[in-house]
Amino acid sequence: MTSQQTPEQLGRDHYEALVIGSGFGGAVAACRLAQAGVDVAIIERGRRWRPGDFPRDLSRLDDGWLWMCGHGLYDAMPLNDILAVRAAGYGGGSLVYANVAMRAPAEVFDDRWPAPYTRQTLDPYYDLASAMLNVRPVPADPRTGVLPPKTRLMARAADDLGHSEGFFHPNLAVTFDDEGPGQTNPFGVPQRGCTFCGECDIGCNVGAKNSLDLNYLALAEKHGATVGVRTEAVYIARTDEGYRVRLREHGHPGSSVERDVTARYVFLCAGALGSTELLLRSRDQYGTLPDLPETLGSRYSGNGDFLSFGQGLTEAFVPHSGPTITTASLIRSGESDREHWFVLEDGGFSEHLARLVRTLHLSRLPAQVAQTIGVGTQRVLTATRAMAARLDDEPDDTAVLLAMGRDRADGRISLSRRTKRLRVTWDVTRNDPLYTEEQSISGAVVRAFGGRPFTTPTWRLFRQPVTVHNLGGAPMGDGPDTGVVDPDGEVFGHPGLYVLDGGALPGATGGNPSLTIAAVAERCIEIAVRRITGDPGWTAPELARAVRGPVPEDEAVRAVTARGPRPPAGRGLRFTETMRGRLRPDTGAQEVVLRLTVSIPDFRTFLDDPVHAAQVSGTVRVEGLTTAPVAVRDGVLHLLAPVGGGTERSMDYVLPFTDDEGREWLLQGVKKVGRRHGLHPWRATTRLQIALTRPEERYDAVPIGSAAIAFRDVLRMLGAVRPTGARRLTTVLRFGGFFAKRVVSAYLPTLIDLP
């Protein structure tokens, strides 16, 4: 122990087991290891937060709000293709999450999960985690005797839109009963009942949220676990008897201090981004674990998260009343060959958070942080402040909606080669059909409230989704060719090194993932404890007393499954177009023929979407790559999307296809519409500049050819416009007006005022 050490740091340099992170994986692991008598230490990069300590001072960013400003509570990370938000503190994401304890449907485990995992085999661990978190649905507000306004509005919207069979009140990890001062939870920790103040997402100063520091972690410390907070892992190295972990301790006066701690067993539980980053740095930056699987960083998922808002409601939504989330609707939509499952939930925000973001400016950030923020991030920051002002000015009449669904889980977490900064490669276009459906239903709900839908600035400006549910990066698999860890969470080729958090999940869960992460961790740590202690029959002490309560999401799954998928209910249209062209001879691929069908399932959603995304199917033939036309898989067209905030417009095509040798390609095309390009409207809207790349190289694409629509094909395209749904003629006329208005505004902006 050094003279600088404080009670926040670890007191020794060796432990039998070291748990890195204290979220839903780390808390479970630490608790069970300590209960089994294992000498275990927990490290957490954030600080301890107790009821009453969470930040509320809006004048100071360094008073606990942002990780970048004094290691505060929130860590917002623009990661190339996605904006990820995570928490820092003892208890991990449970400190600020929306409390939802939801089980994944049985069908989720049929997709890429290892054989030991089924809903049936995981249910006992779901029961255990649910009992530990003391979950139940939202009751009536004790102040009013009725459910919160947003809860009642969401139920009414589900009825109005025909989604009532999938509507339910999810289980929440919140203490609702209040017996006054002196009340304690089943683990002897003081807790009070929920006051419906709407501050779940900024830390519960009441002490009603059943965050992990009040149950799992409290038990771990009760059984002897050592805790080091404000302590960050830098890299991991192997030793003859286990592992050596380089730590950076932030709690020392004046500066951080680095030291090494060794352990026979190391459990990575720093979240999908944190655990994957630590392994990547150990392999690719420091070279201390050079033989980690090549699959490291794969199968990243944003859990299909899509955040949207509504304003101008005819009835108060009051998003700051009640727990952050109180309802959920399970949606199954689309055609049989393009089906989407997702959950739509009411959201909330504290008025403190809106006011904080409203005042967020570069001048309020530390100088070293402000200097690293690029032009794009500055644009997002400015737009976010404007959005926060809207939320702050009309808090009661603003709806917040969060959708989560089964995305493709095909992203990749990596370190940039030059700067070694963390980045996420996430192909939004491949997940666009899901996002489009989520946006469509969210917009319909807002309109049922009489409001106007709008989206986040990152989506509006850059088509960048926001996620608070990062998954994958160190996924389970049957071997190192398919995963990073085995079904029990142990890293292939590295005995005693485990990943027990969302990073180990091989795909999206179709809903809030926290309970699934905890249940998987319960299963894996049970197996690990049996190996460590040599006791083949060890189980968690609470397992025998875990009684299954109601599981409302299962009833919704059964009802929605029985009803079948809903076809898109909106009014839309589709049209076909044919383009022919050539690529440069040096590419080895010359003639190009595109026969495409562009579909707009819901024209209203298409108009709401700032980049006006449409679905594209059809065929592509590229001489030298395909001997015959091949299918376009989940293509996307952004039709007359604004460019750079000016009057210029573009039509952006992204067309994935597979060549004759089974290799994946992206044909990317753009039509630039505007006076700056010196093209008259006819040529601008009929000539496509083409780039051809592999998916992983799509950001480096440069045009290598062009294709055009012949005059006769334009006539055929106009004749092939087919409206869908009701009021077909109206839809066609509105689409024609949309197209003409935006083309004209690109050349004569003073004549037409567009939003």
Query: Taking a C-beta distance cutoff of 8 angstroms, is the pair 638, 651 a contact?
Result: yes
CA atoms within 13 A on the CB side of 160: 14
Average pLDDT, consecutive stretches of 10 residues, N- to C-terminus, the chain (755 residues): 53 97 98 98 96 87 81 86 90 97 96 94 98 97 93 96 94 96 95 95 96 98 97 97 96 85 98 98 98 97 94 92 96 74 92 69 57 57 66 80 94 92 87 87 93 82 82 97 97 98 96 98 98 98 93 96 73 91 76 93 83 90 93 88 78 92 91 77 90 80 89 84 78 88 82 55
Q: Give me the residue spans of the domains in the chain.
A: 48-225+301-465+534-558, 572-747
DSSP string, 103-168: PPPGGGGGSS--TT--HHHHHHHHHHHHHHHT-B-----TTTSS--HHHHHHHHHHHHTT-GGGEE
Please name which of 201, 206, 212, 170 lies closest in space to residue 191, comparing C-alpha atoms: 206
CA–CA distance, 378 with 316 (Å, rounded to integer): 33
**Measured between alpha carbons, how far is residue 657 from residues 580, 622, 626, 631, 698 in Å?**
17, 10, 10, 6, 13
**What pTM was estimated for this model as a whole?**
0.86
Contact of 602 with 731, CB cutoff 8 Å: no
Q: Which of 271, 205, 319, 310 is nearest to 46 (CA)?
A: 271
Cβ(275)–Cβ(297) under 8 Å? no
Overall size of the chain counted in residues? 755
Look up residue 738 and give its two tokens: 């949309």
Report H helices in 223-346: 271-280
Contact 38, 532 (CB under 8 A): yes
Nearest-angstrom CA–CA distance, 62 and 411:
33
57: its two tokens: 């001072």
Q: Are 743 and 673 in contact (CB under 8 A)?
A: yes
Residues 6+ apart with CB under 8 A from 650: 638, 640, 641, 643, 670, 671, 672, 673
Structure tokens at 690: 């083409």
608: left (phi over 0), alpha (psi -120 to 50) or beta: alpha
Cross-strand pairs, 79 = 82
Round to whole Å and give the CA distance between 449 and 640: 29
Rounded distance between C-alpha atoms, residue 581 and residue 564, angstroms: 43
Q: Provide the 10 A C-beta neighbour count for residue 141.
A: 18
Note whether 193 and 176 are within 8 A (CB): yes
